Chain A
């Protein structure tokens, strides 16, 4: 049972445009969400996170939106740059579990075309 889903395996956008990556989750106990970016043969790099007490968090070109009622979050990248081309993983955790365990989605490969 996949608790965190990224239904789009890939996304292609033009440089300078907005990239929107989506993530859905099923476990209502999740209360903290993170986005990681991964280049081939490297470890994931933390991008941005959001707590369930917020509906938006912004950091430079990256904004994460959380819709708890829909159990949906999205990552917006504006403007998109060719260097943003990578695999993006959404991850979720449940504070109450006290385990630090992250549940990852399957990833979305973003390609930003010059």
Chain B
């Protein structure tokens, strides 16, 4: 199994809603990442988990809350989002963070629209 899966594929939510994005990989990777991508822009790193511990938070607002329940799963909990948070949210994984030849494999993304 060499893929990263993400659910849901599309999500529309109001500014008062609470929702979660899910990501799963079964490649034995110990590093997992959340990125945000706006149209015609490169992916922007949000969070990095290394061996199930949060290792990087790129000054992301607290309305985004990541969680790594185990080495295969990564969640992103969303609460009180703003319309400008509408974007493609990408999950990625890699063997771990500390070596070269450490390609990140991306999921298909969740297209989030905040009304």
Contacts and interface: CB of A to CB of B under 8 A. Distances in A.
A42 B33 CA distance: 16
Contacts, number: 69
Interface string A65-87: 00000000000000000000000
B4 interface: yes
Is the interface on chain B under 10, 10 to 19, 20 to 34, or 35 or more residues?
20 to 34
A19 interface: no
Nearest to B3: A43
Interface string B75-100: 00000000000001010101011111
B42 A105 contact: yes
B106 A100 contact: no
B97 A44 contact: no
Interface string B96-115: 11111111111111010000
Nearest to A105: B42
Contacts of A34: 103-104
B48 interface: yes
B55 to A, nearest CB: 7
Nearest to A102: B104
Interface string A22-50: 00000000011010100001111110010
A106 interface: yes
B97 A100 contact: yes
Contacts of A101: 45, 48, 56, 97
Given A34-B103, A43-B4, A104 B43 contact: yes
Contact of B42 (A46, A95, A107): A107
Closest A-B pairs by Cβ, 6 of them = A100-B97, A43-B106, A104-B42, A32-B100, A98-B98, A44-B106
